[in-house]
Structure 1
Amino acid sequence: MTTQMTDGITYEGESFQICGCNGPEFFDPKEHGLNPKAPSTACYRGWVGEYIVTDRLFLRDLYVFHDAGLPVKNKTANGPVIGGVAPTKPESWGGFNCFYKDLNFSTSFSGGLLIASGFVRELAVNMGYHPFWKYTRVIELLFEDGKLLEASDKSSVAQEIREKHLVPGFLNRPSLSDDQAVMKWIEDSFSLRYSLVGAP
């Protein structure tokens, strides 16, 4: 298992990672003619977005490994034009073959996002996505039909949950002898669904 690449997001001029999502997918590459495949074990879904929040949520840039079915084609920027933007080949970034710069796709997302910065390196686990409580700064953004409704600082909540997780044992990993608990832990590690109360 490998730590997964996370989507980035710019909010109020600062860079964050998206580490939690309650709501539907807010961008689906397949709806735009892309066939994303994993370029490596660090990105099983095959794509990574860079978002920006103004009064709305926009997908600014998109990195994707578009599988055109032929190895030779897959070495080039072979994806379709999206919203008037043609892909270019990224300069050695994650194994992707298509980079859509300044796509600026307006989303219609309704739900909550947790964005975070200040990752606590001592809590690194080489599997799945890092949950929000492993970051020192956490902000929850609430959207309706892509429009930003509310932003609230959840850093203290993350700290409380982080401290609870460190009490039962190192990173709260389940016993390897408990197959069911291990499978749930793995499943949770690859999900971005979040809860701001108790253990994620």
Structure 2
Amino acid sequence: MTAQIPDEFIFKGKKYELIGIKGDDLFSPETFGMEPEMIHTACYRGFYAKYRFTREVLYLSELTINEKNNNYLPINGIKPIGNPLHEMTYRKLNLIIPFTGKIRLARNFLNEYYVHMGFQSPWAYETVLDITIKEGKVIDIKDRSEEFKLKWQEIKQQEINNVVDWINDAFSLDMDLE
């Protein structure tokens, strides 16, 4: 099992990683007629993306995808670049994402908490934000950094009783798993 490549966000000029989501998918290649296939063990879902907030509106700015049938269709008028036998990258997409829900973004990863499978946990970062979004616009930001720092202190005291559940949780972006 391998740690997964997280989606990246530029928010208020800083780079964050997506570590949780509640709501519909942010972006679905299937919407654009493509079927993603695993790129490598660090990307089981077959794609990863870069997003940015501009004037508090959410945009998809870049997408790297391995399309199962090499059927790389234009997105927002943009054609991909790269090796179609492996993966292709769409740059400068500027595609508005009308997402409604919550995302959890984190930055300043603490290497001592690295887990070599799935997505990293909130307590493995110095900064953790929960951002509520409605139709692509930010409506609330909650800084949860201190809360997750305390959570890690609790976790260090406990033994992992159910390894299967722990592994499944590591591969989930479900925000209810706190």
Both structures adopt the same fold (TM-score exceeding 0.5): yes
Q: Say whether 1:153 aligns with 2:143.
A: yes
**Structure-1 residue corresponding to 2:166:** 185
1:45 aligns to what SS in structure 2?
coil
Q: Contact 1:63–1:96 (CA<8 Å) still a contact in 2?
A: no
2:154 aligns to what SS in structure 1?
helix
**Structure-1 residue corresponding to 2:3:** 3
What is the TM-score with the length of structure 1 in the denominator? 0.83
Deviations 1:20-69 (A, max 9, x none): 1111112110110112100111100000000001211111100001122x
Change (3 A) 1:96 1:52: farther
Q: Distance in 2 between matches of 1:33 and 1:154?
A: 37
1:116-131 aligned within 5 A? 116-131=106-121
2:60 aligns to what SS in structure 1?
strand
Higher strand share: 2
> Please, which of 79, 88, 94 is the counterpart of residue 98 of structure 1?
88
Amino acid at match of 2:155: H
**Structure-1 residue corresponding to 2:97:** 107
Deviation at 1:96, TM superposition (A): 5.0
**Structure-1 residue corresponding to 2:26:** 26
**Structure-1 residue corresponding to 2:130:** 140
> Please, which of 88, 92, 106 is the counterpart of residue 81 of structure 2?
88
Q: Distance in 1 between matches of 2:14 and 2:102?
A: 19
1:45-84 aligned within 5 A? 45-54=45-54, 55-68=56-69, 79-84=72-77
Deviation at 1:187, TM superposition (A): 1.5
1:83 aligns to what SS in structure 2?
coil
Q: Contact 1:2–1:127 (CA<8 Å) still a contact in 2?
A: yes
Q: Distance in 1 between matches of 2:94 and 2:172?
A: 26
Q: Contact 1:119–1:134 (CA<8 Å) still a contact in 2?
A: yes
2:147 aligns to what SS in structure 1?
helix
Percent same amino acid at aligned positions? 30
Q: Distance in 2 between matches of 1:166 and 1:38?
A: 33
The runs of at least 4 aligned residues of structure 1 exceeding 4 Å deviation read none
The two structures, once aligned, show a CA RMSD in angstroms of: 1.6
Q: Contact 1:109–1:145 (CA<8 Å) still a contact in 2?
A: yes
1:84 aligns to what SS in structure 2?
coil
What is the TM-score with the length of structure 2 in the denominator? 0.92
Change (3 A) 1:44 1:51: same
2:138 aligns to what SS in structure 1?
strand
Unpaired segments ≥5 residues, structure 1: 69-73, 175-180
